[in-house]
Amino acid sequence: MITMHSLEGLFLYLPLLYKYNILSCMCPRNTKQDNKPIFNRLAVLRAERGLSRQDLADAVDVNYQTIGYLERRDYSPSLDLAMRLSEFFDLPIEAMFSRQPFEPLSAEVYKHAIEERQ
């Protein structure tokens, strides 16, 4: 039987259950949604600005390995990290991250140049 005392205990330990990933083991996951990669242009943006992974990591307050994980799509950024990157590069998040692969920038520039001529 669930009592008020047992509910208070649950709320007391809930942050610990999340911290140690116990609840996620108990809850079914939507694997179709979890497997969608998030594509990004971080390597291109870094190269354009002459930044190393360490430079970018220092600017957004993460470990340099996190930048490598993001660029290789081994890791999806948290909303907070995506917003920090967006602010650093002064670009909207959707210009840096997408669920669909990005076209090469040269193709986009060429396409816009043709459209302007017409």
Q: CA angle at residue 57 from 107 to 46, to 5 degrees? A: 20
- Specify the DSSP class assigned to residue 39: E
For the chain, list the domains and their CATH numbers: 37-117 (1.10.260.40)
Residue 23 has pLDDT above 50, yes or no: no
71-113 residue pLDDT tens: 999 989 999 999 999 999 999 999 999 999 988 877 777 777 7
35-75 residue pLDDT tens: 678 999 999 999 999 999 999 999 999 999 999 999 999 98
Beta strands in 5-95 (DSSP E): 39-40
